[in-house]
Amino acid sequence: MTTGLFDYVLALGDDALVTSHRLGEWYAASPAMEEDIALANIALDQIGSARLLLSYAATVAHTALPTVAGGPLPVSGELDEDALAYLRDDRQFRNALITELPNGDFAFTTLRMLLLAAFQKPLYDALANSKDEQLAGIAGKARKEVAYHYEHAAMWTVRLGDGTDESHTRMQAALDELWPYTHELFAPASAELVAAGIAVDPASLRDQWLATVTAVLTEATLTIPADGRKPTGGRQGRHTEHLGFLLAEMQSLHRAHPGASW
């Protein structure tokens, strides 16, 4: 069960870490100064969750050695949140593909934030009742933050979707591109962890998520695309080319100056 817990917590941490990096790329580049601050704060919330989750994943891994060490662990020597963030290669990351896609325009970032926050909110709400006290504590903190992320994204989705012809067109294009990637968010979790009351099965959240996003998208006069292709593989380490470029930027300083401190 410990190996499954490591994988589960690692995936949650990687989602938060990669999402944080993408949002951080908007700093000083968003449509308004106020939005620079808002996106930076949301990015900080996500990196805060990533730190807690990756730190816990490292702790779980240490208790499982050598079993887990024979699996996806990235480094030898000390394993901590920094090692998991900066010393793994792309195939050792477990984030969902939707988090690593390039930012595109502001419409794309807004829609992605809505789709992710609408998923993370019920996920963390449920995990706050996990029988794993550490995981429950992390989720209890994170759920308050993602509630704001959802509200912020929903406000912008309606504002842009039901705005000008140009903003509506951009939002619909973003939704059409992102929708296929949402299916991966609901891939089943470890049945053993779910049965033990530790993990939440994402598949159980889909109906609630769909009702939430449908209400916002309807108000925004946007049309949900018909289901078609369903890109997947992120949870198994099969990523798009975009993650490699993201990691090259995110990890460069740590790898160039290992062990450096300020």
pLDDT tens for the chain, 262 residues long, are 677 999 999 999 999 999 999 999 988 777 888 888 999 999 999 999 999 999 999 999 887 654 444 455 655 557 899 999 999 999 999 999 999 999 999 999 999 999 999 999 999 999 999 999 999 999 999 999 999 999 999 999 999 999 999 999 999 999 999 999 999 999 999 999 999 999 999 999 999 999 999 999 999 999 999 988 899 999 999 999 999 999 999 999 989 988 777 7
Q: Check whether the bond before 31 is cis (ω within 30° of 0).
A: no
Chain segment 136-182, per-residue pLDDT in tens: 999 999 999 999 999 999 999 999 999 999 999 999 999 999 999 99
Is the pTM value of this prediction over 0.85? yes
CA 30 to chain centre: 20
Chain segment 62-87, per-residue pLDDT in tens: 876 544 444 556 555 578 999 999 99
Q: Which residues are CB-neighbours of 262 under 8 A, at least 6 positions away? A: none
Specify whether domain 2-256 bears CATH 1.20.1260.10. Answer: yes
What DSSP line would sit under 126-182, residue for residue?
HHTT-SSHHHHHHHHHHHHHHHHHHHHHHHHHHHHHTS-HHHHHHHHHHHHHHGGGG
Closest CA to 80 of 54, 104, 98: 54
Q: How far is CA 27 from CA 37, 43, 156, in A?
A: 8, 10, 17
